[in-house]
Each structure stands twice: as structure tokens, then as C-alpha cells.
């Protein structure tokens, strides 16, 4: 039986902090917040506001302004809307120049050589997520037909239905796939609900939100992820 591996995108296949750093140093480099600290707050508000963008209660443009405004407010910085928009423009510019790390390229090449069926499932708006996939050159490794964006499916992780839909599209049995993602609730718990095996790539050393649920594997670095993937493929 061929192995099946389905990846999340942001902060899984690439380090999302790399794009955030550019905007951070242009706008907040003279503060003492620290890029990783602000990024954690930025991601928190992104995740909190995401569902409202999916239901139409909040526009994507407004969400972009709110998340950075709230993130810096946590550090007692008041950010005018004009500066929040400038930050977002720089962040979007940086996202056009994201790249896979050498380790991730090597891992994906290894998976292709070993005939692993690859897929991708990401939450987000279609044009933005597709642009990231293009910038990363993911179609060299993952067929376009195997890359799925929540907005196009009109549902989002962790809804079990989105994992079931992707499984059907890829024509895989629920016992086959490994899902690899950075977000415990959206990626790991979501995939576990439909019987998929999981690799939690806890790149940011986040606390586990539900200690009664156990990922198949947990890793914290790209090197460790590659090693786990090799062990799975080679049956170790």
C-alpha cells in the first residue's frame, strides 16, 4: 500500500515567521517587543478572527487591520489604521518572496522519489493561498489537483467534513493518510476526527490544547520532521 501524506501550508511547509520578519523590522524594529513575541500574538488574532471571515461577518481586509492592531496593543502600542495598512502591505509583499528551506525541499524530493501520494490542505482565502503555493513552487512536488484551500471548499479545518472531502478527492481510505500540520486544534485534532494519522509539527513550541488527544508523532524542527517521514516511508 502506497503511503499518503497531506500537509498544511502556513508554518508547516514553510516558516511563516520569515515573511513576518520583513514587515516587523520595517515598522516595529525600534521597539523592544521582539519579532517572535509579536508574531505569536499576531497568529493568535488571525486564528480568532478567521471564522468571522469565512462566514462573511468580517471582511478579509478588516481582519488584516484588526489582527496587527490588537497584537501591538497587547504591548501598549496604539497603531493608527494607516500604519496598520502599511504593515499589511509590507507583509503581503514579503509573502510573495517566501521560499522552501533546503530541508523541506530535500524532504519533498524524497517523498516524490518514493512514490508517496502527496496532498495539501490549507485554511484561507483562495487567491492568497494559491499565490503562496506558486511562490514556493509546490507544484513541482504536489499535483495542482491535490492542493485544497478551505475557501474553495466552503468549509474549513477542523471541520471533519473538509478532511473527508479531501480524502474522497484523493481517493484514499481513512486509515491511509498522515496529516502534517502546526496547529493542534485545526490540523491535528481535525485530522484525528476522521481517523487519519497525524504528525504535529510544533514549530513554535505551543502548548497542547487537549492533552487527552495524542498525535501519532510530534516534532519541533524541520530536520526531525524529515527523519520521522523517512522512518514512516522506510517502515522503521
Instruction: Give 18-67 pLDDT, tens digit per residue.
Output: 989 999 999 999 999 999 999 999 999 999 999 899 889 999 999 999 99
Question: Tell me: the pLDDT tens digits for 106-122?
Answer: 999 999 999 999 999 99
Can you give the pLDDT at residue 41? 97
Region 187-212: mean pLDDT is 95
Per-residue confidence (pLDDT) for residue 161, from 0 to 100: 98
Q: Record the pTM.
A: 0.93
The x, y and z cell numbers of residue 204, run together, are 513554535
Mean pLDDT of the 93-113 span: 97
At 174 the pLDDT is: 83
Q: What is the pLDDT of residue 67?
A: 98
Residue-wise pLDDT tens digits, 140-174: 999 999 999 999 999 999 999 999 999 999 999 88
Helices (H), 114-236: 126-136, 150-153, 160-170, 190-192, 222-233
Is residue 236 pLDDT above 70, yes or no? no
Q: CA 146 → CA 14, 47, 87, distances in Å?
A: 18, 24, 33
Question: Using alpha carbons only, what angle is made at residue 224 by residues 173 and 117, rounded to the nearest 5 degrees?
Answer: 25
**How far is 53 from 150, CA to CA, in rounded Å?**
12
Residue 131: half-sphere exposure toward Cβ, Cα within 13 Å: 12
pLDDT at 11: 96
pLDDT value at residue 43: 95
Q: What is the mean pLDDT of the chain?
A: 96
> Which of 235, 236, 233, 205 lies closest to 218, judged by CA?
205
Reported as a pLDDT band with limits 50, 70 and 90, residue 217 is very high
Instruction: Please report, rounded to a whole number, the percentage of residues in the chain having pLDDT higher than 90.
Output: 93
Percent of the chain with pLDDT over 70: 99
CATH tag, 16-96: 1.10.150
- What is the residue extent of each domain of the chain? 4-15+99-234, 16-96
Above 60 in pLDDT, residue 183? Answer: yes
The mean pLDDT of 69-92, rounded to a whole number, is 97
Write down the pLDDT at residue 53: 92
Domain 4-15+99-234 sits in CATH at 3.40.50.1000
Question: Of 141, 114, 112, 121, which is closest to residue 194 (Cα–Cα)?
Answer: 121
Q: Cell digits for 128?
A: 492568497
Q: How confident is the model at residue 1 (pLDDT cuts 50, 70, 90)?
A: low
Amino acid at each position: 500500500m502506497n503511503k499518503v501524506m497531506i500537509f498544511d501550508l502556513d508554518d508547516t511547509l514553510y516558516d511563516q515567521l520569515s515573511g513576518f520578519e520583513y514587515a516587523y523590522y520595517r515598522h516595529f524594529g525600534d521597539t523592544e517587543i521582539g519579532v517572535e513575541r509579536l508574531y505569536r500574538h499576531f497568529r493568535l488574532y488571525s486564528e480568532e478572527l478567521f471564522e468571522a471571515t469565512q462566514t462573511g461577518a468580517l471582511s478579509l481586509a478588516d481582519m488584516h487591520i484588526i489582527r496587527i492592531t490588537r497584537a501591538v496593543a497587547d504591548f501598549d502600542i496604539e497603531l493608527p489604521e494607516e500604519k496598520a495598512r502599511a504593515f499589511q502591505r509590507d507583509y503581503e509583499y514579503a509573502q510573495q518572496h517566501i521560499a522552501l528551506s533546503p530541508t523541506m525541499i530535500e524532504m519533498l524530493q524524497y517523498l516524490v522519489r518514493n512514490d508517496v501520494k502527496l496532498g495539501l490542505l490549507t485554511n484561507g482565502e483562495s487567491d492568497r493561498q494559491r499565490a503562496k503555493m506558486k511562490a514556493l513552487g509546490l507544484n513541482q512536488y504536489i499535483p495542482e489537483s491535490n492542493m485544497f484551500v478551505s475557501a474553495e471548499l466552503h468549509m474549513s479545518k477542523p471541520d471533519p467534513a473538509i478532511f473527508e472531502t479531501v480524502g474522497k478527492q484523493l481517493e484514499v481510505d481513512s486509515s491511509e493518510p498522515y496529516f502534517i500540520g502546526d496547529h493542534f486544534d485545526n490540523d491535528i485534532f481535525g485530522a484525528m476526527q476522521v481517523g487519519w494519522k497525524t504528525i504535529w509539527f510544533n514549530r513554535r513550541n505551543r502548548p497542547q490544547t487537549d492533552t487527552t488527544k495524542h498525535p501519532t508523532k510530534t516534532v519541533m524542527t524541520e530536520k526531525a520532521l524529515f527523519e520521522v517521514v523517512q522512518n514512516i516511508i522506510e517502515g522503521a
